[in-house]
Structure 1
Amino acid sequence: MKLGKLLAAFIGAALLCSTQASIAAPVKGADVSWTSEIEANGYSYYNRSGVKKDILAIMKEQGMTAVRLRVWVNPADGWYSGTQDVVAKAKRVKAAGMKLMVDFHYSDSWADPGQQTKPTAWSGYTFQQLMDAVWNSTRFTLQAIKDAGVTVDWVQVGNETNNGMLWNDGKASTSMQNYAWLTNTGYNAVKSIYASAKVVVHLANCHDNANFRWIFDGLKNNGAKFDIIGASSYPTNASGYTWQNANIACLNNLNDMVSRYGVPVMISEIGVPWDHAQAKTIVADMITKLGQVSGGKGAAIFYWEPEARPGWKGYTLGAMDNNGKATAVWDAFK
């Protein structure tokens, strides 16, 4: 009897270890879309030891294996975050042996919860023409990346689409169906170029479960397709929350997304003030929590623009000091 109990305990422990081993740890990376522009302005990057290195080399030193790059349709300067700039950076990602996420804003500039402005060239389009433009633009950029010999692992169709995208036609509060159709157009365009790439629908404010449920219930009810749910998490900026409670609320929301929609989740963006005394702790806590998502479905986490020095284009949540040296927050990813 004792032998039987011991054998059962041994088998149970072995199965537990096997299950734990089969659950992959979240992929860690960063959105470094500003890299080409920062470099063109003469700035360099220095690792934690103060050694001058390429930004991707610093990322790899710190345990990151993936890069996220945004795409704008017709950027005002004609280059940065446009297709050719993205292709050039994607080739660097491939040369570094890293994974790649492509983030379509479907705008000429920033798309976020407060603005989802159509590209100027699309402003007079009918809704059918708008869907055609999403299809063609998505395929054009991805085909250019593919022609450069680069594999894309994830693609976002829209950026922080808490109330849809391509306003007003694709505004979710006006027409959830239109938003779902635009999402499906992007989804199908991605799969036509990279059949195995995972398509991400990305919302801001990971702590806001009500908004996530509203959007993803609406998408599901209107037949939209997505492979992963992405979230932005800026814990120190979450209104009414301590960073600790923001991280807890984010984890609870991610678990709800997994349970409700049956897909993996990721943190598409995270950032904290560059000089915050607890920056490393805050990010490390979120990485730990992502690893605790039910079923091992916490897919990846990306720091947003860590290569930016304080105040670059008004951004102060990067991970470099005023001399371009990597701050302690990088150590959260090791």
Structure 2
Amino acid sequence: MYKKKLALMLSMILCISFMSGYKAMPFQLNKAEAAATFAKGADVSWLSEMESYNWSFYNSNGTKQDLLQILKDKGMDSVRLRVWVNPSLNFSNKADVVKQAVRAKKMGLRIMIDFHYSDTWADPGKQAKPAAWSSKSLAELNQAVYDHTYDVLNTLKSNGVTAEWVQVGNETNDGMLWQDGKASSNMKNFAQLITSGYKAVKAVNSSSKVIVHLSNGYDNSLFRWMFDGLSANGAKYDVIGMSLYPSQTDWSTLDTQALANMNDMVARYGKEVMVCEVGMDVTAPAQAKSFLTDIIAKTKSVSGGKGLGVFYWEPESYGTWYEYTKGAFDSSGKPTAALDAFKN
């Protein structure tokens, strides 16, 4: 009797061990698959404004179609949307971003939100405070960053949209919310502002990844200066983001430098990296396709699988729209061959 009970117990243990191992396999595969999910996307923040002025978009066959569907058919799975605090026009504010994010989510697209913390364009040459924040102290600015970030993301969440990635600042080569948050004057202040944004993002959704974004992704000395400074001052973030806008003749060199920079960021800070903006002159679609194919492959090759994705900046811009010449649609409103790089 004892032997029978012992045999039965051993059989049950073996069965449980087998079943546990069997169940673990799909989990491990799913985890690996999730880690390998590479984002291919575009910033389409001009879309609302273009549609309000009746600009149309056409697929490669010349059929009028929703821009997001055209981009999706080209292999893109993500969109990026900028947020201004109180813009003069009724675009890229909270209401507009929610509308476009809900639209994109319904089409199965992933979402990146790009906070400029300004009423207008924020980039390496200008990081103006929103007018409503102009007289705030540093402590009040930290609270304003937290409140604004939380408000926009929580409103998105209430509308069924959770941002997968969130940029706390846009092309912050020398910080943001000048002069208080100017990195070259006071890196500590900038680090505090980044951390305020980070805390707001995580309060809404702990799985959203917070990006600190600089331009000139080929410039390793700039990135080391910035992220050494942020690290020394305790800034919290998840991802190092970059922009890259090469010419038709230097793209191969800059791509190689950008890859070296990305791998250095991974090794030096243990962070993931992402190319948040790319573009090339619309008159060079063949070279643009070569550039995009290469930078996508290079970002996928980043050590440890820590290259998260590549986003084209405003490909839908065409013709005379704001005189912007680095879109990827031709003068008739159809995508150029450049976007074919996102199919693979």
Say yes or no: TM over 0.5: yes
Counterpart Cα distance in 1 of 2:313 and 2:146: 27
1 CA distance for matches of 2:58 and 2:269?
Answer: 42
Find the counterpart in structure 2 of residue 129 from structure 1: 140
Change (3 A) 1:171 1:47: same
Cα distance in 2, alignment partners of residues 210 and 139 from structure 1: 33
- Deviation, 1:27, is 1.1
Pairs within 5 Å for 1:202-241: 202-236=213-247
Considering Cα pairs closer than 8 Å and 6+ residues apart, tell me whether 1 or 2 has the greater RCO. Answer: 1
Indicate conservation of the 8 Å contact 2:173/2:226, yes or no.
Answer: yes
CA contact (8 A) 2:300 2:309 kept: no
Does residue 1:256 correspond to 2:264, yes or no?
yes
Q: How far does the alpha carbon of each residue in 1:169-209 deviate from its partner, in whole angstroms, 9 at most, with x for none?
A: 00000000000000000000111111110000000000110
Quote the residue 2:39 is aligned against: 27
Q: Is the 8 A contact 1:310 1:317 kept in 2?
A: no
Cα distance 1:88–1:197, how it changes in 2: closer, same or farther (>3 A)? same
State the partner residue of 1:58: 70
Equivalence map 1:64-103=2 (5 Å): 64-77=76-89, 79-103=90-114
Matched, 1:296 2:305: yes
One-letter amino acid of the counterpart of residue 245, structure 1: T
The one-letter code matched in structure 1 to 2:262 is L
Instruction: Name the SS of the counterpart of 1:184 in structure 2.
Output: helix
Q: Distance in 2 between matches of 1:181 and 1:104?
A: 16
What amino acid is the match of 1:89? Q
Contact 2:153 2:162 in 1 (8 A): no
Q: Does 1:319 align with 2:331?
A: no
TM-aligned CA deviation for residue 106 of structure 1: 0.2
Task: Give SS of 1:313's match.
Answer: helix
Matched, 1:45 2:54: no
The yes-or-no answer on 1:328 pairing with 2:337 is: yes
Verify the 8 A CA contact 1:33 1:305 in the aligned structure 2. Answer: yes
Counterparts of 1:49 and 1:332 in 2: how far apart (Å)?
18
Conserved? CA contact 2:281–2:288, under 8 Å: yes
Please say if 1:287 is aligned against 2:296.
yes
Q: Which amino acid aligns with 2:341?
A: A
Task: Choose 1 or 2 for highest CA Rg.
Answer: 2
Runs of 4+ aligned structure 1 residues displaced above 4 Å come to 19-23
2:315 maps to 306
Q: Is the 8 A contact 1:274 1:310 kept in 2?
A: no
> What CA distance in whole angstroms lies between the structure 2 residues aligned with 1:168 and 1:259?
32
Give 3-state SS (helix, strand or coil) of 2:81's partner: strand
Distance in structure 2 (CA, Å) of the matches to 1:80 and 1:20: 39
Out of 194, 206, 226, the position equivalent to 2:205 is 194
Q: Secondary structure at the match of 2:85?
A: coil
Q: Which moved more, 1:175-184 or 1:318-327?
A: 318-327
Distance 2:206 2:95 in 1: 22
TM-score normalised to structure 1 length: 0.91
Counterpart CA distance in 1 for 2:189 and 2:320 is: 38
**In the TM superposition, what whole-angstrom CA distance separates every residue of 1:119-148 from its partner, at most 9, and x where no partner exists?**
011111111111111011111111111111
Residue 117 of structure 1 is matched in structure 2 by 128
Which of 175, 187, 192 is the equivalent residue of 1:164? 175
Report the alpha carbon displacement of residue 151 of structure 1 after superposing the two structures with TM.
1.7
Q: How big is the shift at 1:264?
A: 0.8
Deviations along 1:271-316, whole A, 9 cap, x unmatched? 0111114111111111111111111111011000011113311211
Query: What is the rounded CA distance, in whole Å, between the counterparts of 2:32 and 2:98 in structure 1?
Result: 37
Mapped to 1, the partners of 2:265 and 2:148 lie a distance apart of: 29
For the residue of structure 2 that corresponds to 1:230, the secondary structure is strand
Letter of the 2:174 counterpart: N
Give the drift of 1:21: 7.2
Length-normalised TM-score, structure 2: 0.88
Cα offset for 1:243? 1.4
The count of residues paired between Structure 1 and Structure 2 equals 314
**Range that drifts further, 22-31 or 63-72:** 22-31
**8 Å CA contact 2:88, 2:119 repeated in 1:** yes
Which of 40-49 and 184-193 deviates more?
40-49
Say which SS state the counterpart of residue 126 (structure 2) adopts.
coil
Q: Which runs of 5+ in 1 are unaligned?
A: 1-18
The 8 Å contact of residues 68 and 102 in structure 1, kept in 2 or not, is answered as yes
Q: Distance in 2 between matches of 1:85 and 1:326?
A: 24
2:195 alignment partner AA: N
Matching residue of 1:142: 153
